[in-house]
């Protein structure tokens, strides 16, 4: 029996949407095998990872809270990825957006105004866009690689955050801890469900999903972005500007990441901390591809990745699994997704091997 991959005449739309489901199923199967290898009950492990975190109202609220920044960043990144603009620095853009929003919150003249929170939202988006504009400018003017530039700027942003919370913005009443003062009430997103951390910043995520869908599916600039991603030669023949695609992709990702940073600082934390983000900007890249670079698919992928975060904490507490278990599931999900994506452009062919019988005495 011979197994081979045969190129398809055209990419399979069915496998394009089925491959994430295949990847999720294989990730769960791998998890069951690993639980058994560690001497744990596989069913109990899968329950701790995928059911226990959302078996209460507070659990569902935490799921949405963690999915919100992942989803909004992934939607912004998807705009660039659809145009072959690779913004890998969303983590740094999130941090700069949070810093810009915190500047509004910590300025006494703005602290108690009814416009404080709207001004923070605008400042957060502007901060993320400004940070994303640096690799966009270097790409369009000097043909610098936006992957490397945006990634390196992430570390610069984190150093800037550390400088502020260890230095001029350190809370004088914080027992010398590296943190900013708490934001005033006017600078906080209101709680939606009492007794939980679910706050109004999730509405920004829903708005971003709707805006991303409208842009990519129902606007001419979105059409230009998609064409540029499919074929640069066709885009140039049609007169579409490659530089404009770079700017649109980078600024969309920066604005989304800045809004996510504002939501974290003014929603769940209420201040700036060195550990502002547990890596949302990097995990959002996985979310974008699991969601097939489509805003609606990204929404469900964000919920799935959030569940893996919560499941890792749940399994660590209830079963004594290491903290790296969640990262292992995230990596396995991406690995299986990349493998399953092969079936979008190829189909598996199984052929019976021919057995040639030689005549007696034949050479």
Q: Find the angle CA(60)-CA(62)-CA(65) to the nearest 5 degrees.
A: 115
What DSSP character marks residue 199? B
Phi-psi region of 279 (alpha: psi -120 to 50; beta: other; left: phi over 0): left
pLDDT of residue 216: 94
d(CA 222, CA 240): 11
Please give the pLDDT value at position 343.
85
Predicted confidence at residue 344, as pLDDT, reads 86
Residue 360 has a pLDDT of 64
Question: What is the reported pLDDT for 170?
Answer: 95
How many C-beta atoms surround the C-beta of residue 287 within 10 A? 30
pLDDT at residue number 15: 85
Give the pLDDT confidence of 13-34 residue by residue, as tens digits. Answer: 888 888 888 888 999 899 889 8
- The list of the chain residues with pLDDT below 50 reads none
Q: CA gyration radius for the chain?
A: 24
Please give the helix or strand (H or E) that residue 106 lies within, else none.
Answer: none
pLDDT digit string (tens) for 327-340? 888 888 888 988 88
Q: Among residues 132, 91, 150, 93, which one has the least CA distance to residue 279?
A: 91
């Amino acid at each position: 029996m011979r197994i081979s991959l045969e190129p398809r005449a055209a990419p399979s739309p069915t496998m394009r949407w089925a491959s994430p489901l295949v990847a999720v199923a294989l990730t769960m199967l791998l998890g069951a095998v690993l639980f058994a290898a560690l001497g744990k009950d596989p069913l109990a492990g899968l329950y701790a990872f995928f059911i226990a975190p959302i078996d209460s109202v507070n659990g569902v609220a935490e799921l949405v809270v963690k999915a919100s920044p992942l989803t909004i960043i992934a939607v912004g990144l998807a705009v660039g990825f659809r145009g072959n603009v690779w913004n890998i620095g969303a983590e740094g853009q999130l941090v700069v957006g949070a810093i810009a929003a915190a500047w509004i919150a910590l300025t006494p003249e703005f602290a108690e105004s009814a416009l404080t929170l709207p001004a923070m939202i605008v400042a957060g988006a502007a901060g993320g866009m400004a940070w994303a504009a640096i690799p966009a400018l270097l790409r369009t003017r000097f043909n610098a690689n936006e992957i490397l530039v945006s990634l390196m700027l992430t570390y610069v942003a984190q150093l800037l955050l550390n400088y502020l919370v260890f230095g001029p913005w350190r809370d004088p009443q914080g027992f010398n801890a590296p943190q900013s003062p708490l934001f005033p009430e006017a600078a906080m997103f209101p709680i939606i469900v009492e007794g939980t951390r679910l706050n109004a910043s999730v509405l920004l995520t829903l708005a971003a999903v709707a805006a991303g869908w409208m842009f990519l599916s129902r606007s001419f600039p979105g059409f230009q972005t998609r064409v540029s991603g499919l074929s640069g030669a066709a885009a140039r023949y049609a007169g579409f500007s490659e530089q404009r695609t770079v700017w649109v992709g980078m600024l969309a990702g920066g604005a989304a990441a800045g809004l996510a940073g504002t939501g974290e600082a003014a929603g769940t934390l209420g201040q700036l901390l060195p550990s502002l983000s547990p890596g949302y900007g990097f995990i959002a890249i996985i979310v974008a591809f699991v969601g097939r670079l489509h805003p609606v698919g990204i929404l469900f992928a964000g919920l799935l990745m959030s569940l893996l975060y919560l499941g890792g904490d749940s399994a660590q507490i209830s079963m004594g699994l290491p903290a790296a278990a969640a990262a292992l599931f995230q990596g396995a999900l991406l690995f299986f997704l990349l493998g399953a994506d092969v079936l979008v452009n190829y189909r598996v062919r199984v052929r019976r091997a021919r057995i040639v019988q030689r005549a007696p005495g034949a050479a």
